[in-house]
Each structure stands twice: as C-alpha cells, then as structure tokens.
Amino acid sequence: MIKIVLQQSLRPYFSADENGFKAVMTLSGKTIRGSRARKIVLRFCRGEQVHFAKIHIKIVWKKIIKYLLLFGIPMTRVQREVWAIKHLQNLGINTPKISAYGHKKIAYIIINEFVITEELTHHISLTEFCLNWQQQPPPFALKKQLIIKVAELLSCLHINKIKFGDFKLGHIYLDEQEMKQGNIVLSVLDLEYVRLSISKSKLAYDIGHLYESCFKIGLTKRDILRFIRSYSQNPLGEALKVEKQFWQQVKKQAIRYFYRINRNNSVLTKLPM
C-alpha cells in the first residue's frame, strides 16, 4: 500500500500514486549526504522552488521486529519528522515547510518512505556562521543576542517536553536577511530524532550535544552563564544552585560526545567551565 501527501507546490510534478512514489524514490539531484543503499538526502529544484528530499530505503527488519515485540508498531523517522515539524510550528518555532511525504507498506510495516521540505533561503547554519569566532570574535552585542535566542529556543522545546535528540549548531539556521535588519531569527532542521520526553536527564543530552558543538568557537565563562540564565528563565544564582547536578550532567555528556569523535583533549583543557 502506498500513501503520498502532496502540497500544492509539488502537485504539478508528482502524482499521489505508485508512479509518483517511484518518481520520488528515483529522484536525481545534488546528493547532500547518504547513499542509495539506506538513506539519501537530495537537493533538487521543481519550478522556481528548491527542495530537500530525505529518502529512506530498505528499512532494517531486525529493528522492526524488535520494536514490534517490545513496543508495538514503531513510529518511523519520516513519521517522527513530519509530526515534529507540525508540532514545532504550532509552538512558534521555525522549521522548513513540508512539501510532500509518503511511504510504502507491506502489511502494517513501512519499508520505504520519504519527506520533502522547502529549502530555507538566505539562511546559514550556526556551525558555518560561528566557524571563525575563536580567531575573529564577533561583536559582543551579536554574540549575546544569539546565545540568548538559542537558549530560549531550547528552553521552549524542553518546557514542552520535547527532546531534540541531536541538538547541535549544525541543526540551527540563522536568517541572514533578518540579521541585516538587526533581528535574530532561528530555524531548526533535521527533526527525525525528535520525541517527547519527561526525563530531566534526557533533556540534558540535548544541551550536552549543543555544548560539545560549541567547544571550538571560543565561548567564555560569561557566555555559558548567560546561556544558563536564559535557558532556566531564573536568576543565575538560583539556576546554578537548584540545578547544579543537571548542569554537571550537561558538561559530562558534552565531554563524552566529544571523545566519541576526538582523541585530542587539548580543547577540553581550555573549557571555560
């Protein structure tokens, strides 16, 4: 069984049937990451609009069977991403707009699936934007405003019991046109690992991922304290006293993530806190 949901912008180019599904699964475009063996992310153009397609191929049956035995029918990555985009937009958090999504089922099990979103034009990832901060520090006012906005964004997610799963600078995008007007407007991408969570310790993983991705951009102790105050929405002294164990866990997780892909600990010796 095939299901496809198409927004108006893609209806002239794809049909909501098996032929449309095959057309998406065989899309050609610029490969951003992945391979045709399992998952691929493509950048392609239809009309005047640029889109990104995430195509998941050959769902792993061992994982499906495991979830069926333990939890029942699982939510796939595309289902989770579509849910997350809609949920975050309802919270006022900017995400790419969905152009289409769909899946192919055998019995009750999804074996192939995809989601297509519109490209965020005039945006830059914070990984790229902050790349040279250590060598060329940004204006103080800009850095302060950006830290506060990122902290408020993550706080909004966590207040609503949403765990991002892989919250790094590379998944946060800055609107460059708004920045020229003096405004900081952020969007988040890659929401396939988003899920609901009421565990405080699991929410610490999100901040740990974010902190680890900031290790090499030259943040100061004042920057981190400003983030903590903005995230907690409490006076700094109260936040550090009441949530001391939580912030210790954040740092521990950040260092653990860093060691997964790095063996040089010289960066860790320079951490502000």
Domains along the chain? Answer: 2-118 (3.30.200.20), 123-270 (1.10.510.10)
pLDDT at 201: 83
For the chain, strand residue ranges (E) read 2-6, 30-34, 39-46, 49-56, 98-106, 109-118, 123-125, 162-163, 172-175, 186-188, 195-196
Residues in the chain: 273
Local confidence pLDDT in tens for the 273 residues of the chain: 899 999 999 999 999 999 999 999 989 888 887 765 567 899 999 988 999 999 988 655 566 666 556 555 567 888 899 999 999 999 999 999 999 999 888 766 777 899 999 999 999 999 999 999 999 999 999 999 999 999 999 999 999 999 998 899 999 999 999 999 999 999 999 998 898 877 888 899 999 999 999 998 999 999 999 999 999 999 999 988 889 999 999 999 998 888 877 766 655 655 666
- Nearest CA to 247 out of 259, 233, 232 is that of 232
- Three-class SS of residue 151? helix
pLDDT at 151: 97
Which phi and psi (to 5°) does residue 33 adopt? -165, 165
pLDDT at 32: 82
Residue type, 210: L
pLDDT at 40: 85
How far, in whole angstroms, is CA 206 from its chain's centroid?
10
Place of tokens 């192939």: 112
Spatial strand order in the sheet of 123-125: 123-125, 172-175, 186-188
The bridge status of strand 30-34 relative to strand 39-46 is antiparallel
Q: Crossing angle, helix 140-159 and helix 200-213, to 10 degrees?
A: 160
Contact between 152 and 185 (Cβ < 8 Å): no
Taking the model in full, what pTM does it have? 0.88
Alpha-carbon gap, residue 273 to 251, rounded angstroms: 8
Alpha-carbon gap, residue 123 to 173, rounded angstroms: 6
pLDDT at 257: 87
